[in-house]
Structure formats: C-alpha cells, structure tokens
Amino acid sequence: MNKITPKVLEWAREIQALAQTGLTFAPNHYEIERNKRLLEIASEMLTENSELGKEEALSVFLRQQGYATPKVDVRAAVIKNNEILLVREISDGKWSMPGGWADVGDMPAEAAEREAKEESGFDVKAKKVIGVFDANRNGRPMAFFHAVKIVYLCEITGGERCVSDETSDVRFFGFDNLPELSQNRTNNRHIDEIKKHLQHPERLTYFE
C-alpha cells in the first residue's frame, strides 16, 4: 500500500471537517445521509492511500462531533540545570516534551502541568507561554486532525522521575545532545524557540 501523501490527507481532512460540521447542522435526514457519505469518502481516501483500514478511519471520523475546529496540544518545557526534560514515547520509541491533548474543561496550563506529572512523575508549574504553534506548518507532517500546540516554560516543584503507561523512559538532555525526537509531538522549531527564551527571558511569546 502506498504511503499517504500530504495532498491526499489534506483533501480527506477537509472533506471530513466539512461533513462533521454538516452533520452538526443538518436540517433533515437527507442532509444527514449526504454528510455521512462524505465521511465514508474521506475514510476511503485514507484507506486507499495508507495501511489504515476503512472501518478504523470511519470510526475515528464519526467520533468527532460538533463544529470542526483545531485540537489543542499542550507541552511542558521543563528545564533543570540548562537541560530539558524529555520522555520516551512507547508508541514510536522516540522522545518528546511531556504533554498531550487538552481535555474538555481543562485550563490549558493546568493540562500541561497534569500531563507532565502523568508522563514524567514530576510536579511542575507553568511560568510562561513559550509559543503557540500551528502543527501543520513549515514542513511538518500532517496528522488526521488540525492541531494547535501550546508550549509552556515550566519549573519543577516536586515529585520524582517515573514512567507511565505512555512513556518508557524519563531523562534530562543537554540541548546539544538531544535524542531522536517524536516529530509530531516535539521538533526543532519548538526546541529552538525554547532556547531563545532561555537566552532572552524578556522575549515575547512566539505565535503563528
């Protein structure tokens, strides 16, 4: 099976978003069926261009409800002795700042603090927003759903290093000795911006 191309994913994702919003505001049975068919087409596009099964893709799409908007990913940039805290993701064996999707009802900063605790064992406090990043820009690989990533500069307030159901290792790394990064979660754009804020504490929040 061919690897899905960014353009095919872009088309499928746009069709999915239009259909999801259409289902939310569908005035009658005909519009509901029409938009469900659009979701099927989007899932078929993914199936024909990737290893993902049609039912799996359709199930993911059908779970999305309401007006289609970007998801929010939060990351904790935890610095100690000029080293950054990274966790090793079980899903791909690569490394990232602790973090994940913000839950409904979360305060974004508290979500980052919670994710850091769950994935690394450390209690942290968010002190500053490093940057707000569009997850699909500047050559980034596209994911199924459009996402906005918020990176917080955090400090450790307690806890101790431990792994979780999602992480297999927790370590601090020097910025000149980073391991292979899990690009969907943490990449060089984020790291470079963190370094700039550490060098210039007065630097304003980066945003896209």
Which is more confidently placed, 12 or 68? 12
- What is the per-residue pLDDT across 65-102, written as a single tens digit (0 to 9) for each? 666 678 899 999 999 999 999 999 999 999 999 999 99
- Cα gap 34→44, rounded to integer Å: 15
Is the pTM here over 0.75, yes or no? Answer: no
